[in-house]
Amino acid sequence: MLKKIYSKVFKMFDKKHLKQKLKEHSETPSDLVGQLDILYGQDEVNNLFDVYYPKNMQNGKLPTIINIHGGGYVAGIKENCSRYCQLLSQKGYLVINMEYTKSETKGFPTPVYETFKLFEYLKANDEISKHINYDKLFLSGDSAGGHIATLVANILKSDDLKKRFDVESDIKVKGLILNSPVFGVFKFGKLKFLRKELEEVVYNEYYNNSIKNACNNLELLNKDFPPCIIFSAITDVLNIHTTILLKKAKNLDLSVYNYHFITGKNIGHDFTITYPEGKEGKYAIEKSDQFINNICNNSLEKKVERITVSLLKNKVFQSIPLPQQSQEK
């Protein structure tokens, strides 16, 4: 029963904004170059990606962001992130927005393997690679896409994980931009029957494969984890993943910045992707731009910080005391 309900709920959310998202996908802003639906693998439906970069910067190499959409592993399409990617690109970046295979077709970690396929394709494609600054490459992901992006980053940092997943790449990730991320499949505490049903949906044919045990980023976190910026909301039950990661990151002396929205219009799970042109979405884009520039200029302060954010005026909110924090209004 859970399996059917789980897939149905995520697909229902997909349909809610589908018409608008497809329109945004098809209309590249006049100041950007947009190359859409490029095939990077053998699957003509799921192995596609889009590229955006500013027209006035098309003759040089640009800092690059590879974006991986969410959807609970069973739903979501890259077109949900088109406007988000366009807004990022207008800040001066080459942005790649990738599609991947959902777990009902082929289980997790298939999207991880497909990301490595995308790396191979980009390296072999001179027309795209001539615009990519591989020394300034970032991964972005929302919700389940945050799980994929973070796992890919962890694998790239570990020879042991490369062997375990049987992948190879010389790609180096400078940082992660995560929106309402999860870092592993929910365990449901003592409700083991719910955990089993959910894992059967997500992992599918990999459910009994030992690789499943290497897919939880909260257990893989180590001192080599790249700098990370996370956008979360108090109204999102999934922000517990970010809270756990912050605690672990603090103990490992990492660089993790969490902008945690405690009030605002339409905030909730994936608010930065669903409403990228809202006040909160634009704020997240600006902070992502600052984060990237600080890393590229070697000026990012090394610390773990949760910053509670309210963009509503004349309101006072209590800070959430974990683990360090300041407040912006």
Beta strands, E only, the chain:
32-39, 48-54, 62-68, 94-98, 132-142, 175-179, 228-233, 256-263, 304-310, 325-328
Whether the predicted pLDDT of 313 surpasses 70: no
Q: What's at 242, amino acid-wise?
A: T
- CA distance linking residue 8 with residue 12, whole number of Å: 6
Task: Give the pLDDT mean for 291-318.
Answer: 86
pLDDT tens for 196-231 read 888 999 999 999 999 999 999 999 999 999 999 999
Domain that holds residue 68: 2-328
Neighbours of 89 (CB within 10 A): 26
pLDDT at res. 312: 84
Question: What's the CATH number where 99 sits?
Answer: 3.40.50.1820
Phi-psi region of 271 (alpha: psi -120 to 50; beta: other; left: phi over 0): alpha
**Look-up of token digits 């669903």:** 274
**pLDDT higher for 10 or 123?**
123
Span 75-89, pLDDT tens digits:
999 999 999 999 999
Number of domains within the chain: 1
In this prediction, residue 327 carries a pLDDT of: 54
Token readout for 264 is 């605002």
Helix or strand run (H / E) with residue 20: helix 18-26
Q: How many CB atoms are located within 10 Å of the residue 271 CB? A: 25
CB 291 within 8 A of CB 175: yes
Higher pLDDT, 105 or 15: 105
306 token code pair: 């949760």
What local confidence, expressed as pLDDT, does residue 2 receive? 64
Rg (CA), the chain: 19
> Residue 190's pLDDT is what?
57
pLDDT at position 110, please?
98
Question: What is the band of 164 on the pLDDT scale with cuts at 50, 70, 90?
Answer: very high
Peptide bond into 109 cis (omega under 30): yes
Residues ≥6 apart with Cβ < 8 Å to 130: 61
Q: Rounded to whole angstroms, how far apart are CA atoms 162 and 113? A: 11
pTM of structure = 0.93
Least confident of 89-93, 163-167, 261-265: 261-265
The band of 318, judged by pLDDT with boundaries at 50, 70 and 90, is very low
What are 28-40's pLDDT values in tens digits?
999 999 999 999 9
pLDDT at 284 over 90: yes
Q: How many CB atoms lie within 10 A of CB 71?
A: 21
- Give CA–CA dist 76/94, Å, rounded: 22
- Predicted confidence at residue 191, as pLDDT, reads 62
Among 219, 193, 214, 192, residue whose Cα is nearest residue 203: 214
